[in-house]
Structure 1
C-alpha cells in the first residue's frame, strides 16, 4: 500500500525552521590528543590526553571494562543548553574506571509508570561513556549503544558483556549517555537564539566523535563503527543517520541498527507545542514569563541558566509527567541544521549517513503508550484528537479509513490471542493485549510511532551502494522493549537459550561481517530436531521495495504460563522445556493483512 506514505507523511508534517545550533567541529579532541604522554594504552591504563584511566580486567569474560569515562565537560552553569565541549584537563591522578558515573536527570512519561529518579546517581554532570574491550583487542569492529527512554529517562549502564561474549569477543562495545528531558531537549525561539536546541542529539554526535578519536586505544577500528539503539535510542540512530542532511557519509559510522525506532510528533524548534513546554518549564522552575520575558535585566533563558539543579530537575520531571498519556514533555525538534527535515520526508529522499541498516520492530509496540480503556469509537476519536493535536477533522477521518474498525469484540474479558501474521485475524483488530477499538488505537500508535519509521529506515538504504535488512520480533507477547533482553540478556523465561544466542549472533554478524545472516546450527538451535535444516536466517536477503522481505523471529513449542501485561491483562507466554526457534521469511508489506501502511 505505497499510497499511504504521502498521506501519513502529510499527517505527521510539522513546521521546520532555520536552526541556530552550531555544527560541531569535525575533530574536537585533536588538541587533547596532543597532551598524551604515552601512545594510547599501556596494559589497563589508557592515556586520553585530558585524563588517564585505569580499567578492570575480567578473566572469566576475557573483557577489559572502562566505566565512567568522561567524554565532554560538565554541561552545567553557562554550558547549560549549549553544544557539548571537550573535557577539561585533569591529569593530577589516574582515574579508576571501575564504577558507573552519574546518570543524567530523569523525567518520566505521563502514563504513571515509575522510573528511577534517585538523585544520588542523577546529575547534570553526566556526559560519560563505558567501554567493553576484549583483552588484547586490535583493530576490532565497534558497537556503540544509545539507550532509550523517550528522550527523558534511561542511562548508559546497559552491560554489553553478554552480546560481545556470545560473538566470541569479536568487537568492542561502547555505551553512551546524553542529556535528557529539559536539559537535553528544551526548545523555543529563545533557546535557539541563546544556546542550542537538540542538545541531547549533539551529545550523541560528540560521543561518536570521541569514538573516532579514541577507540583505537581500546583495540577498536574507528572505520568500522556500528551505532545502535532501541526505542528513543533507535530514534536517535535514525536522527544520527539523518544528521546534517545526510551529508556526513561514513565519517562517524558505517552501520546502523535501529530497534523499534521511536518517532513522536516532530515539531519545528519554535512551534507552539515545544514553546508551551518551554514556558511551562520556566514557570515550574520559578522563571515567570510575565516578569522575565522582555526584561532588560534578565531573560527567561538567563533565569533558567542561573537556577539550581534541584529546581530544574523537578521542573523537567513535573512538566514531562503532566502531558498526554504515554508521551514525554521534551523531544527532538526540526532545527534546520542537525535535524533538517522530518524523517518521513528525508528518508524518502534517501539522504542518510552510513552504508548499511538493520531495523526491527515488535508485534505489540503500541499498548504501553495507549490508555487501555478505549472501547468505543467515540473514545477512540477523543484519544486521537488529544494524541495528535495538529490533525484536522479530515486527517482524523483518513486515519479511521486506513485503520478500519471490525466486528471484533470490545469486551475486555474476551479471549485474546496472538495473530499468526499471514492468516486469520490480523493486528488491525486483534492481539494478546487488546481487541476491537482498543487494538485499533494500539495499532495506530504503534505504526505511526515505531513500525513505520523502521520501514522508512530500511527503504532509505536500498540503493546508492547501500543495503538494509529487516526483522520483526514476535516472541509472545512482544510488547515494546521486550526484545532488548534477546540481544543483551539476561535471559527471560519466554526466550530460550537457542533464541537468545541466535538473536545476539544476528546483531554480532551485522556488526562484524556487515550481514545479519547466521549459521544453520545457530539459527535452528541446539534443541532443534535437525540443526542442519535450511533456515530463513541463514541467507538473509537485503530489503528492497521490489522484494520487501523480513525475517520473522519467533519460537514454537514450550510450556504456557501466564504473566501480567498492559492494562492489567494476563497474557500467555511460553517457557522451556520444549522451546525451539521458529524463523521465517515473510513479505514485510503484506504481513498482518498489510497492517504496515507505506
Structure 2
C-alpha cells in the first residue's frame, strides 16, 4: 500500500508543476486507473456516532443534525455573508463581521433566494438568503482532510435553491464512503434574477454587476477559511453545477481573466461551462447589448425611482421589498431577462477570447451535455419551411452579415436523419400528425439550438483544455427517462438524477426511475451507480473519473486532440443487455461542421 501512497504523492507533485507537456497528460491520467493509484481503504477518521455534531469555524460554533439513515452530519443554513438587505442590496457581498461565544443552531435550510420560476413554487423566498449547507460522514475528525465538492444549483440564474430534494448530497456522499474515499458535500445559494444580475450603466459604474457570481465567490472563500474545521481539505475542492450552475462553474474558471485564487482544484460542468451563455433565444444574443440598459431604465421608471433627485441605484436600495419584488417580477415589456454582463472585472472579456488565449484556471474539468438538449432550448415557434428556419435565425443572431443565416442553414440542413431526437427516440414519420403539429422542421431547429446553447460550447471547452495541456473528460447522456415523451428525448437536466444516484426520484413530480420493466430498472440503477461513482471518483481522486471501483466498465479517456484527433466522449446509455453497454466511448464528431462554425464564430456571430 505504501507504493500506492508514494505514487499518489508523486502524481500530486507532478500536477502542481507549472508546465505540463500535453503529451504526458493523457498517459498520466490513464496510468492512474491502470496502475491502481486510485485504490482506497476506509478512512480511519470516520467514527461511530456519539453525540449531536458540532463545529467551530472562524466566527463561532454551530450545532448540526445527525442523519442516522446515512450516518451523516448535516450543518444546514450557515451564513457565509452579511444579509444583502437594506443598504447592502445591490452591493458586492460582504464577509461576516461578527463573532459569538454561544453555539448557534445549523439545523434547518434557509429560504431560497428570491427568484421567479417553477423551481420556486411552494418554497419560502427571502432577500436574506446567502447561506450554505455542509453534509459530511458522521464524526469526521478535524484532521481528516477529506476532499470537498461544492454544488452550485441551476435554474437559469433566475430560480432555484440548495434546499431542493433533487440535489440531495447525502446520496453522493454515501457513495464516496462506500468507495472507501469519503468526501464532504456543500451546497450554496446566491442572488438571482435582477437581485443578483441587474445590468446597465449605473450598475457598471458602481462596480456591482454580476453579484450572483460574486456571492458564489465569497462562499468559496468561506470554504477555504472554514472547511478544515469540518474535516475537509481546502486544497481539494471541486466546484460542480448543472445548467446555470455549470455556467457559474465556467464563470469561476474565467473570473478576473482566469486568475487562479486557489479556491478549487477541479471543476464539473453539466450542460454548461465556460463558453456557455444562456441568452434569451428570442431577444437576440450577446453580452452588453442595449437590453441591459432598457431593463434597468424600465425598473427605475416603474418603481418611481426615475423621479428621484438622488442616485437611482440608491433609490432602488431604499425601496420596500414588496415594491422592488413586484417590479422585477412584472410582465412589463423590457423587464428582464437578467444575464451576466462584461464588467471588466469579474467578467473580464468575452469567454471565447479567454478560452483561445488560455486565460482560465487550469484544473481538471469534467464536462458534458445531453443528446437532446435542443428540445429544451429551441424558441417556442413552429418551423415548417426553410424560409421560416431562416427567419428564426435572423431574429436570434448577434449582428452579423446577412449571409450568416444562409450558411447556418446549409450546416443544419433539413435532413430528418440528422435532427434530434434521433429516429431511435422519435418514432414519428415527418408527415405524421404529431410531427406536423410540432413543426415539420422541428428536429432541424432543435439540433441547431442545442448545439448553439450548450453542445458547441462544451466541445470548445474540451478543445481549449486540450490545447493548453490540461486534462478534461467529456460525456454525452443518452437516456429518455420516465415522464419525458419521445419528442423530448434525453433533454436538459435529465442526467441530474443519475449523477446524484437519486433512484427514488426524490423531488421529482414523476420519478425518472419509475414504471420500468425489471430489465430497465436494473439498467437505470446500474447506470446511476456508474455515473455517480465516476463523478465522486473525479472529486476524490484528483480529477480522474475512472477510480469508481466497478468492474467491467469502459475506461473514460482524457479528451485528447493531439495530432489532429477529435477527442472522445463517454456515452451514458441505458440500452443494451450487458453492463458494458451502459457506458461506451465515441469519437466526438457528431454535427462537427455546424459546431465548428459556432465555436469559431463565437464572438463575431454570437457575441460571446
Fold shared, TM-score > 0.5 on shorter chain:
yes
Gaps of 5+ in 1: 1-41, 109-113, 426-430, 523-530, 559-577
Counterpart in the other structure of 2:11: none
1:407 is displaced (CA, Å) by 6.0
Q: Distance in 2 between matches of 1:403 and 1:277?
A: 33
CA distance in 1, matches of 2:547, 2:541: 13
What are the equivalent positions in structure 2 for 1:285-296 lying under 5 Å apart?
Answer: 285-288=303-306, 291-292=307-308
Deviation at 1:264, TM superposition (A): 2.5
Once the two structures are TM-superposed, the CA of residue 94 in structure 1 deviates from its matched residue by 2.6
Aligned 1:428-467 pairs, distance under 5 A: 436-462=440-466, 464-467=468-471
**TM-score normalized by the length of structure 1:** 0.76
Give the number of aligned pairs: 498
2:127 paired residue number:
124
Distance 1:484 1:97 in 2: 27
Look up the match of 1:256.
Answer: 267
- RMSD of aligned C-alpha atoms? 3.2
Q: Tell me what 1:591 maps to.
A: 590
CA distance, structure 2, for counterparts of residue 285 and residue 483 of structure 1: 41
Alpha-carbon distance change, 136 to 87 in structure 1, aligned in 2, over 3 angstroms: same
State how 1:274-285 maps to structure 2 within 5 Å: 274-285=292-303
Q: Counterparts of 1:362-441 in structure 2 under 5 Å?
A: 362-370=370-378, 371=380, 373-388=382-397, 390-406=399-415, 416-418=423-425, 436-441=440-445
Identify if the C-alpha distance between structure 1 residues 308 and 502 changes in structure 2 by more than 3 Å, giving closer, same or farther: same
Contact 1:496 1:580 survives alignment (8 Å): no
- Alignment partner of 1:67 out of 59, 76, 80: 76
Q: Does 1:82 align with 2:91?
A: yes
Distance 1:323 1:167 in 2: 47
1:333 aligns with 2:341: yes
Is 1:232 paired with 2:227?
no
Q: What residue is the counterpart of 1:484 in the other structure?
A: 496
Given that residues 576 and 582 in structure 2 are in contact (C-alpha distance below 8 angstroms), is that contact kept between their aligned partners in structure 1? no
Pick from 457, 467, 472 the counterpart of residue 468 of structure 1. Answer: 472
Report the CA distance shift for 1:286/1:115 in structure 2 as closer, same or farther (over 3 A).
Answer: farther
1:90–1:286 CA distance, 2 compared to 1 (3 A): farther
Q: 1:92 Cα shift?
A: 6.6
Q: Deviations over 1:358-391 (max 9, x none)?
A: 1010011122232152222333233333333534
**Cα offset, 1:91, TM superposition:** 2.4
Cα distance in 1, alignment partners of residues 537 and 579 from structure 2: 24
Q: Does 437-446 or 96-105 show the bigger shift?
A: 437-446
Residue matched to 1:207: 219
Structure 2 length-normalised TM: 0.75
Give the Cα–Cα distance (whole angstroms) in 2 for the partners of residues 454 and 234 of structure 1.
11
Structure 1 contact 406–436 (Cα < 8 Å) conserved:
no
5 Å-filtered alignment, 1:338-377, equals 338-370=346-378, 371=380, 373-377=382-386
Residue by residue over 1:172-210, the C-alpha shift from the partner in whole angstroms, topping out at 9 and shown as x without a partner, is 111111110001100111112234100111111111111
Distance 1:76 1:241, change over 3 A: same
Aligned-pair CA distance for 1:93: 4.4
Structure 2 residue 256 is matched with structure 1 residue 244: yes
Cα distance 1:397–1:508, how it changes in 2: closer, same or farther (>3 A)?
same
- Partner Cα distance (2:583, 2:490) in 1: 15
Counterparts in 2 of 1:585 and 1:455: CA distance versus 1, 3 Å: same
Higher helix share: 2
2:235, 2:265 within 8 Å by CA — same for their partners in 1? Answer: yes
Match of 2:531 in 1: 503
Change (3 A) 1:475 1:164: same
Give 1:419 shift. Answer: 8.2
Q: Is the 8 A contact 1:61 1:161 kept in 2?
A: yes
User: CA separation in 1, counterparts of 2:491 and 2:418?
Assistant: 21
- Check 1:146–1:543 CA distance in 2 against 1; reply closer, same or farther (3 A cut): farther
Report the counterpart of residue 560 of structure 2 in structure 1.
Answer: 543
Instruction: Tell me if structure 1 keeps the 8 A contact 2:237–2:265.
Output: yes
- What do the CA deviations read for 1:238-284 (whole angstroms, capped 9, x no partner)? 110001111216x1111000000042347445x41211121222234
Q: SS in structure 2 opposite 1:239?
A: helix
Bigger mean CA deviation after superposition, 509-518 or 372-381: 372-381
Matched position secondary structure for 2:582: strand
The structural deviation recorded for 1:583 is: 1.5
Aligned positions of 1:167-182 closer than 5 A:
167-168=176-177, 170-182=182-194
Q: Specify whether residues 415 and 322 from structure 1 end up closer, same or farther in structure 2 by C-alpha distance, changes over 3 A only.
A: farther
Matches of 2:388 and 2:344, distance apart in 1: 37
Deviation at 1:475, TM superposition (A): 1.1
Asked whether the 8 Å contact 2:538–2:546 carries over to 1, the reply is no
Aligned to 1:152: 158
